[in-house]
Amino acid sequence: MESFTDVPRIKESSDIGQQQDRVVTEEEWLQKWKMRKIGFHKEQGHLILRKYLDVLLNGRSGLRIFFPLCGKAVEMKWLADMGHYVVGVELSECALKEFFTEQDLSYSEETIPGISGAKVFKSTSGNISLYCCSIYDLSSTIAGRFDGIWDRGSLVAINPCDREHYANLMLSLMKRSCCYLLVTVLYDSNKHKGPPFYVPDSEIKSLFGKVCEIKCLEKVDDFSDRHKAWGLDYFLEVTYLLTLKSVP
C-alpha cells in the first residue's frame, strides 16, 4: 500500500552532504524547549499515526508501545486510553511535566537505578511511563521490549553520526512481533542544515535491512511556509513499516 500521488518528482540522493558532521548538543535541545522553539510538536497529534493505527496494532490489544524522543506527544494519552501501555523517553523534563499537566494526569516521580540524574514519570493510572534521560541510556533491561514503536521526529532528530547506535538500540527494544512505524523526511540537504535531518531510503535499508522487512507505506508532500522559510523548495514525509524478519 503506497501513496505517492501529487508528490514532487525528485532525485533522491544517498549522500546527506554537509549534514553528516552536524551535531546538535543535548543543551541545544533543552534550550528549544526552554525558548519554546518546538515547531515539531503537533498539538492535535499526527494524522499519519491515526491513518496507520491498524498497521501498528495489527489486531492486537493491550500492547506495550514505545515513543522515542516523545516530547509531550498527545498520542501517548490517546493510546493509553485505548488500553495500551505507553513508554516514552525524552531529554527535557519540562516537556514531560507539560505532558502530564496538559493531559490532566496525575503522576509520580522516581529515580532510575543505574542512570545518574535520570528520572521516570509514571501516571497514577499506571499505563504511562516516561523516562527523562538520554535515549542512549535506555535499554531493554530498564524499559523492557515493545510490541509497537511510533518513531516520528526521533530518527530525524538524532545526530547523523549516531544513527547506527540508534538503530541498534531500536532493534534491541523490539519484540519478535513488533510493528515499528517510522516517519522520515526528504528535502534538499544542501539547503537546510537540520534538524529535522534528511534520511534517504538507502539509509533506512542500510540501518535496518539486514534484520527487518521494510515496507514503504506512504510518501507525501508536507511542504509548508515553515519549510519555505528554511529556504527549501519541497519537503516530503515518508512512512515505513519495519518488522523483524522471520528466523529460519
Q: Which residues sit in the known binding site for S-adenosyl-L-methionine?
A: 29-40, 69, 90, 134-135, 152
Residue 165 corresponds to which cell in the numbers above?
Answer: 547506535
HEC string for the chain: CCCCCCCCCCCCCCCCHHHHHCCCCHHHHHHHHHCCCCCCCCCCCCHHHHHCHHHHHCCCCCCEEEECCCCCCCHHHHHHHCCCEEEEEECCHHHHHHHHHHCCCCEEEEECCCCCCCEEEEECCCCEEEEECCHHHCCHHHHCCEEEEEEECCCCCCCHHHHHHHHHHHHHCEEEEEEEEEEEEECCCCCCCCCCCCCCHHHHHHHHCCCEEEEEEEEEECCCHHHHHCCCCCCEEEEEEEEECCCC
Strand ranges of the sheet holding 107-111, from the earlier edge strand across to the other edge: 107-111, 119-123, 128-132, 85-90, 64-67, 146-152, 174-186, 236-244, 212-221
Beta strands 128-132; 85-90: pairing state: parallel
Q: Which residues are annotated as a binding site?
A: 29-40, 69, 90, 134-135, 152
